Chains A and B, each alone.
Chain A
Amino acid sequence: MASNFSRILSSKQRIGVLTFVGGSVTAGFLLHRQHVGAAAPVRRSYPASADYPDLRKHNNCMASSLTPAIYAKLCDKATPNGYTLDLAIQTGVDNPGHPFIKTVGMVAGDEESYEVFSDLLDPIIKERHNGYDPSTMKHPTDLDASKIHSGNFDPRYVLSSRVRTGRSIRGLSLPPACTRAERREVERVVVDALAGLHGDLDGKYYSLTQMTDGEQQQLIDDHFLFDKPVSPLLTCAGMARDWPDARGIWHNNEKTFLVWVNEEDHTRVISMEKGGNMKRVFERFCKGLLEVERLIQERGWEFMWNERLGYVLTCPSNLGTGLRAGVHVKLPLLSKDPRLSKILDNLRLQKRGTGGVDTAAVGGVFDISNLDRLGLSEVQLVQTVVDGVNYLIECEKRLEKGQDIKVPPPPLKQFK
């Protein structure tokens, strides 16, 4: 008899591990809740159809892809850390979405989530990343900033330049699922490595729990301080648990290189400066990232990365490079041109207001950044932004002179 087959499922927390003693695989899991103790009774048994979420009012990538069949196949599985499908999709169930904005609706609790739940995540990734198929394609990583050309913009138009990404520490669960001890371990590993940075990257860590009022005010004035997440997209995924324990901000003395610890990802890495020298911003970005990677490797750690998904992060939308390279750029005349959206689309760029995602542009100043994250390398994406922004500035200059502008041709569809 298949001895102590048991499964402890917690629909809310991270403990749902399939355990087999004796090594035999039992086909078909009948019971959702059974304690491993010898005499504990079966509490309830529900078929997958009873637990399948009601997604009729939903408009997110998870809802588009999660069929009853996929749910039934995956709902009994758990990653080695005990992360389950119900946990992964909770944010998408709780946040039906917006008719115009399609959110992802699912997160990863650990690196293995992308394997264990690939039947659901692969189609989501494909939809979100322009047809990229993780089961057959490979993602290129390229952090050689010397390849960027024409990356110094006209400062009369570009007010600031910024590149951000995230990195996850292999072997530790991601923010939706990590325990307090794991989160503290992430902090320890990252802060330890950052302390090894020198020269223009020499800097300091400010733990959210230990910050003084003076430090807090300075970080607010510098626009560096991040708050406890209020977006239900994040809170429903469990990322705000135990706030502000093990969260913090590191930045270099020159305030051009910044790392957030344990916010939406293990780390978010940001390089920025005023003006239009995107090439220099990207150079510092790459140098900092590669140096931090080297420092954690010295201590026996590494980043989550693989050939098919690139850098692994909490949200499937940030896979690959996790990179958003952008500028704040003044385009008052172009902003009134009805062709702007089409121009941006064809340049593979997106616009946001200067307050970030979901804000409006003020005074004709836009945040312009790359649309893509996965399937193209860092260098390719930054070059796309550089070329695109140069084109936009050209358009603005032409409009200033009363000349007409042209919509650039659409790009080749890479992945379809």
Chain B
Amino acid sequence: MVKDSSTQQLIKRISVNWSQLKMKYSSDQEYPDLSQHNNHMAKVLTPEIYESLRDKETPSGFTVDDVIQTGIDNPGHPFIMTVGCVAGDEETYEVFKELLDPVIEDRHGGYKPSDQHKTDLNPDNLQGGDDLDPDYVLSSRVRTGRSIRGFCLPPHCSRGERRAIENLSLESLDMLDGDLKGKYYALKNMSEEEQQQLIDDHFLFDKPVSPLLLASGMARDWPDGRGIWHNDNKTFLVWVNEEDHLRVISMQKGGNMKEVFNRFCTGLTKIEGLFKERSHEFMWNEHLGYVLTCPSNLGTGLRAGVHVKLPNVSKHDKFGDILKRLRLQKRGTGGVDTAAVGGVFDISNADRLGFSEVELVQMVVDGVNLLVDMEKKLEAGESIDDIIPEQK
């Protein structure tokens, strides 16, 4: 083939320093237009911070532009405050501290760079929680995420890495036994029947459609390397390579949150042990707890919640305030950004970082018990003014 000899040289001997290419234009010329934006990244990023960070990269090559792309492409909503940045690997949180520390502080209730996060996955430390009234509490669920140290995160991983994560995960999950014994369903190999069953069980996750996720590159190569593992009892579920390396979910019908949390902790601890046997560990440190893709999920990454019938309480004009005081949030039963149907709400902890797993689940247990009491009082025509809680 006829090839220009100077092009040959170009291909073989490119001797330009990468940073010179990236630095061809000034920081001001590259600085994003955030005038229409309302997310944590846009609130925190300044031209000075951008200038200071733009010639840096993590060892795997993740840059500040990679961190913030999703926040630039998704200006946000006047009422919902999204994060607007993601991590491409564990080191992102170090290399881009200058940006991410203030984002974390803003998102996680004033959590400081010097603060320490405690991890507590001992379910015996949870008080009560086994008897949330099943006439009101329809189902209980606890979820978190885990990242495997040494691998890049979903916005940045290569196909080879993603597949390695999948292999490691299913090797480890395959070793679970007892009531955790289960099976892995790779998204790309699933049969029609398996797919339908997973849909009916509400286990199947789809290719992300949210532009928040798409803009950060998490849906690349779909469905390669993605899959769902669940135990035979259908009470313990692991998503592989969706928004994080692993999302771990424990759930069951009814109000026995204690049992859900027991299984959650046992399962997680076992999985962690199985990974360690294969010389891998989870990304974790004393300051940020468990490290995940989105800064909003740092710390515990834990969302413990129930589907609960609160048709009367939800109409009370102090409902929002009560939730805030209890450090809880409401969602519709379709998940985040859906509306409640028939007075049934998804109620879960609002915090992720700065509280331990036990503390967060305790807040949900205590808070939901109180909300159900309030519901009963309102049903009986009584006032709830005397049991409105203090700010936790």
Given contacts A12-B155, A53-B221, whether A44 and B57 have CB atoms under 8 Å apart is no
Q: Which residues of A contact B21 (CB under 8 A)?
A: 17, 80-82
A19 & B16 in contact (Cβ 8 Å cutoff)? yes
Bound: A36/B15 CA distance, A? 13
Q: Decide: A15 and B33 in contact? CB cutoff 8 A.
A: no
| A294 within 8 A of partner (CB) | no
A43 interface residue (CB < 8 Å to B)? yes
Roughly how many angstroms separate A19 CA and B19 CA in the complex, as a whole number? 11
Residues of chain A from 72 to 128 with CB closer than 8 A to chain B in the complex: 77-78, 80-82, 86, 90, 93-94, 112, 115-116, 118, 122
Instruction: Let me know if B65 and A53 touch, CB within 8 A.
Output: no
B59 touches A35 (CB 8 A): yes
Q: Roughly how many angstroms separate A12 CA and B65 CA in the complex, as a whole number? A: 11
Give a binary string over A25-62; 1 marks a CB under 8 Å from any B CB, 0 the rest.
Answer: 10000001111100011011011001111100000000
CB–CB B16/A240 < 8 A: no
B101 on interface, CB distance cutoff 8 Å? no
Question: Does A182 belong to the interface (CB within 8 Å)?
Answer: yes
Taking CB atoms and an 8 Å cut-off, the chain B residues in 63-99 that contact chain A are 63, 65-66, 69, 72-73, 88
From A12, A32, A209, A235, give the contact of B33 (CB < 8 A). A209
* Residue pair B18, A53 in contact (C-beta under 8 Å): no
Which one of A3-11, A198-206, A371-379, A386-394 is at the interface? A3-11
Chain A residue contacts of B32, Cβ below 8 A = 180, 242, 245
A182: which B residues are within 8 A, CB to CB?
25
A40 / chain B contacts, CB cutoff of 8 Å: 59
Which residues of chain B (304-340) have a CB below 8 Å from chain A?
Answer: none
Q: Residues of B within 8 Å of A, CB-based: how many? A: 57
Most buried by A among B4, B18, B88: B18
Tally A residues with Cβ within 8 Å of B. Answer: 61
Q: Give the complex CA separation of A393 and B374 in angstroms.
A: 77
* Separation of A81 and B22 alpha carbons in the complex (Å): 8
The yes or no answer to A1 lying at the interface (CB within 8 A) is no
Decide: A19 and B18 in contact? CB cutoff 8 A.
Answer: yes
Q: Which residues of B contact A359 (CB under 8 A)?
A: none
Closest partner residue, chain A, to B2 (CB atom): A135
B194 CB-CB contact with A under 8 Å: no
Q: A128: shortest Cβ distance to chain B, in Å?
A: 18
| B159 contacts the other chain (CB 8 A) | yes
| Contact assessment for B158 and A86 in the assembled complex, using a CB-CB cutoff below 8 Å | yes
The 8 Å CB contact of A80, one of B16, B60, B163, B222, is B16
Q: Are the CB atoms of A25 and B18 closer together than 8 Å?
A: no
Cβ-defined contact, A18 with B220, below 8 A: no
Residues of B within 8 A of A41 (CB): 59
Which residue from A18, A81, A180 sits with its C-beta under 8 Å from B30?
Answer: A180
Which residues of B lie under 8 Å from residue A80 when comparing CB positions? Answer: 10, 14, 16, 21
Other 10 A-B pairs with CB < 8 A, given A19-B18, A180-B32, A240-B73:
A13-B66, A20-B14, A33-B61, A44-B160, A94-B220, A116-B10, A122-B1, A179-B30, A181-B26, A182-B25
Residues of B within 8 A of A (CB): 1-4, 7, 10-18, 21-22, 24-26, 29-33, 57-63, 65-66, 69, 72-73, 88, 150-151, 155-161, 163-164, 188, 214-215, 217, 219-222, 224
